[in-house]
Structure 1
Amino acid sequence: MADRTFTLRSGRVVGLTGFGDSDAERLVIFCHPAPGSSVFDPDPDASAERRAHIVALDRPGYGSSDPWPSGHWPSIVQAADDIAEYVRSVVVAETVIGVTRPRTVGVVGWSAGGRVALALAARHPQLVDRVAIVGTPAPNEAVPWIDPQLQQVSDQLAAMAPEEAMGRLSAMLQPQADAVAAAAEPGEVPLDALGIGAVDASALALPGVRDRLGRMLIDAFRQGTGGVAGDILSYTARPWGFDLADVTAKTLVIAGQADALAGHAHAAWYQRSLPDARMEMVPGAGHLAIVPTWGRVLSHVAPARVTH
């Protein structure tokens, strides 16, 4: 589970996990996939080698974070605003004790986490100077990828009160949580819910990767299915709530060439839609492209010398 918690002004508790160099000046925020949690480090060696203090936050209902408040729709922008509140608190707290850290951060999002990373950059441009998204699906209306029957279900849920929609979708997702709970060891946890397939075999074969993913999924479902239900509703049943044109940060868009979930068409859409974006495709990689590219990602969001 997360190694510490942070209490928001609203009273909600957020779980946080740190990686890399805790003494580094550069702060990098990592936004996990859906389902997911803050405990996953894509490549501990690359994290340790980069001069960056990496912090991941559990979104509501995942890991050690409180669930979405009753009566409120899950929201991409609220998840981003939670991160912004945490980052600002770090700057204030460190200033009080005489620690000087750059007032801007880099932010990374894998899969669903990419939307949160972009929302953070769009809504809080004074905080974010660099963004990287990896394997993040585009809006379904821009690049169709959601099964029409599932989208129809989401449309039906959108017409309900938030508590009812969350309850119904959570029940539908319970088999995912049951499958994770049934695994005897983290390395035996099924990874279907993450969109990881046979094409990702080489990444999964790297030391510790399958075990780390399994531990993340165990943590993701520790409170049940509310976390992933909230994520799904936030981007299928409700508007995203921010404009990509407001992302002024330098953005790196990465996708696996063999990613059946969010491949070239998705990455190309983001490159066209963002003001300052570079696209890189990873040969032979699937949805787990975050693992072999983690060092490249960190070199973008935590460059040796940050330019503005």
Structure 2
Amino acid sequence: MANLTFTLRSGRRVGVTTLGDPVAERVIVFCHPAPGSSVFDPDPDASANRGVHIVSLDRPGYGSSDPWPAGSWPSIVGAADDIAEYIREMKRLESPIGVNRPPTIGIAGWSAGGRVALAFAARHPELVDRVAVVATPAPNEYVPWIPPELQKQSDELGRLSPDEARSRLSAMLQGQSDAMRAADLESGVPLDALGVGPVDAQVLARRGLEDRLGRMLKDAYRQGPGGVAADILSYTARPWGFDPSAVRAKTLIIGGEADPIAGHPHAAWYERVLPDSRMEMFPGVGHLVIAPAWERVLSFLAPHPEPLHDSGN
């Protein structure tokens, strides 16, 4: 689970995981997929050796984070605003103890997390200079990817009250949640919820990756299905709440050429819409492109790596 918790001004708690060099000048935020949680590290060697401080937050209802308040709709922009509040408070608390980091950060998001990263950049441009969007589906109305029967279901949920919508979708996902919580890490956690397919077999064979994904999914369902239900509602039943074309930060769009969920058409849509962007496709890779691409993501978000700091040991 997350290695610390942060209490927002509203009183809601969020779980936070930190990786890399804790005193590095460059801060990078990583937004997890759906389902997911902050504990996932796509490539620990790359994360440790880039000379960056990596921060990841559990979105509401996942891991160690409180769920969305009663009566409120889960939202992409709300998740982005949680990150902004954490980053601002981190900077405020660090300054008196002599840790003065640059005013802007880099932010990356995998799959559903890519939308949160873009919302953060659109709503808080003063905090970010570079964005990486990895295997993130485009809006369904522009690049169809959600089966029509499921989109119809989401549309119906969107006409309910937020509490009723979350309750109904959570009930639909309860079986998936129960199976995940009962799964044994030693025997392997089912990864189909992440869109992992046969094309990802070679990537999945990377040292420790399957175990790290399994631990993330176990943590994602720690509180039951509420986190993933909220995420699904935020991008299928309600408007996204921001315009991607408003993002002014330099943006890297990464996709797996064999990704059945968010392949080339999705990456190409983002490249057309985002003003300062470039697309890079990884051949022979599916939705798990985040693992082989992580070193590239870090090199883009932190183009000038810092030397590793001596721990004093």
TM-score normalised to structure 2 length:
0.96
Residue equivalent to 1:241: 241
In the TM superposition, what are the counterparts of 1:1-308 in structure 2 within 5 Å?
1-185=1-185, 188-304=188-304
Deviates more, 1:175-184 or 1:187-196: 175-184
SS in structure 2 at match of 1:215: helix
Where do 5+ consecutive residues of structure 1 fail to align? none
CA distance in 1, matches of 2:205, 2:98: 44
Deviation at 1:61, TM superposition (A): 0.1
CA distance in 2, matches of 1:246, 1:92: 27
SS in structure 2 at match of 1:18: strand
Deviates more, 1:282-291 or 1:177-186: 177-186
Render the CA deviation track for 1:4-29: whole Å, top value 9, x for unaligned.
01000000000000111112110000
Render the CA deviation track for 1:40-90: whole Å, top value 9, x for unaligned.
000000001101100110000000000000000000000000000000001
CA distance in 1, matches of 2:286, 2:176: 21
SS in structure 2 at match of 1:291: helix
SS in structure 2 at match of 1:102: coil
CA distance in 2, matches of 1:208, 1:98: 36
SS in structure 2 at match of 1:82: helix
Deviation at 1:182, TM superposition (A): 2.5
Deviation at 1:187, TM superposition (A): 5.6
CA distance in 2, matches of 1:298, 1:80: 20
Deviation at 1:302, TM superposition (A): 1.2
CA distance in 1, matches of 2:204, 2:101: 36
Counterpart amino acid of residue 233 in structure 1: L
Deviation at 1:303, TM superposition (A): 1.4
1:31/1:108 contact within 8 Å kept: yes
Deviation at 1:98, TM superposition (A): 2.1
CA distance in 2, matches of 1:84, 1:281: 29
CA distance in 2, matches of 1:72, 1:186: 38
Deviation at 1:183, TM superposition (A): 1.5
SS in structure 2 at match of 1:77: helix
Deviation at 1:186, TM superposition (A): 5.5
SS in structure 2 at match of 1:108: strand
Counterpart amino acid of residue 56 in structure 1: S
CA distance in 2, matches of 1:187, 1:54: 30
CA distance in 1, matches of 2:248, 2:305: 18
TM-score normalised to structure 1 length:
0.98
Render the CA deviation track for 1:118-147: whole Å, top value 9, x for unaligned.
000000000010000100000000000000
1:186/1:212 contact within 8 Å kept: no
CA distance in 2, matches of 1:188, 1:174: 20
2:200/2:288 contact within 8 Å kept: yes
SS in structure 1 at match of 2:126: coil
CA distance in 2, matches of 1:151, 1:198: 26
CA distance in 2, matches of 1:184, 1:34: 20
Counterpart amino acid of residue 258 in structure 2: A
Deviates more, 1:168-177 or 1:124-133: 168-177
Counterpart amino acid of residue 129 in structure 2: D
CA distance in 2, matches of 1:246, 1:164: 32
CA distance in 1, matches of 2:305, 2:220: 35
CA distance in 2, matches of 1:241, 1:96: 35
Pair 187,7 (structure 1): closer, same or farther in 2 beyond 3 Å? farther
Where do 5+ consecutive residues of structure 2 fail to align? 307-313
